[in-house]
Structure 1
Amino acid sequence: MNLAEPGQATIRIKNLRLRTFIGINDEEKQKQQDVIINVLMRYRVDPAIEHNDIDHALNYRTINKAIINHVENGHFLLLEKMVSEVLEIVMRDPKVCHAQVEIDKPHALRFADSVSITLCDQRD
């Protein structure tokens, strides 16, 4: 687990529930399914604290809107691909130092609540 460094803030988007086309079976390709997205983002918070201004903070609302638009309008065969693309959206913001994205596909397996995949990235 990558711990936040001093001067970094951690922002979490928890349990973002969306519907999209996800899967390889014919039924999955034609009927939207629920996914649950969790995002963790870290960024250097000192400028935001110093200036008390949104222009110096990480605008998580903008990132959230981009995720919603991409997932709800997308068609994905693999959960891995969806997670990778959502992570790319998060990392587009140059303020993000580290990000982790986990997406759950509820009821993907019999007797299991969900299947999830997690990917992370960070800037050097």
Structure 2
Amino acid sequence: MPEAQIHIKNLRLRTYIGSNESEKNNKQDVVINAWIQYPANHTYNTDNIEHAVNYRTICKAIIAHTENNRFLLLEKLTAELLDLCMQQECVTFAKVEVEKPHALRFADSVSLTLSAIREPQN
């Protein structure tokens, strides 16, 4: 069965992330990438939007969650965004990367990636 993979690429947002005082008091840039995989056969066979994963809805949820919360760790933000991507039952796999530009001296960025697989229901 063919799998579709949606890629939300380089979503640039600002949020409170980190544990030092400056990070707690000032929003910082984050760059988010998300990959969402689901069976594509119903979608391309019927051209019916009801069978597709709505990437706009997922993107809006990612934006709202990131911008309206505070995080100490990249792990926490990344895990919560991964949960948002896995909410629809038809999603079989998702991966989220959250990048924090300029977090380390002499490095472009630091990032964390988490992924999840939904086991088939028997």
Unaligned runs of 5+ in 2: none
Listed as ranges, the matches of 1:53-72 within 5 Å are 53-72=48-67
Following the alignment from structure 1 to structure 2, what is the Cα–Cα distance between the partners of residues 76 and 35? 12
Report Cα offsets for 1:59-84 as digits up to 9, x if no partner.
11100000000000010000110000
Unaligned runs of 5+ in 1: 1-5
Following the alignment from structure 1 to structure 2, what is the Cα–Cα distance between the partners of residues 112 and 74? 26
Superposition CA RMSD, Å: 0.7
Shift of 1:51: 1.5
Listed as ranges, the matches of 1:82-121 within 5 Å are 82-121=77-116
The sequence identity of aligned pairs, in percent, is: 54
Following the alignment from structure 2 to structure 1, what is the Cα–Cα distance between the partners of residues 61 and 50? 18
Q: Look up the equivalent residue of 1:35 and give its one-letter code.
A: V
> What TM-score do the two structures reach when normalised by structure 1?
0.94
Following the alignment from structure 1 to structure 2, what is the Cα–Cα distance between the partners of residues 73 and 33? 13
Following the alignment from structure 2 to structure 1, what is the Cα–Cα distance between the partners of residues 26 and 72? 13
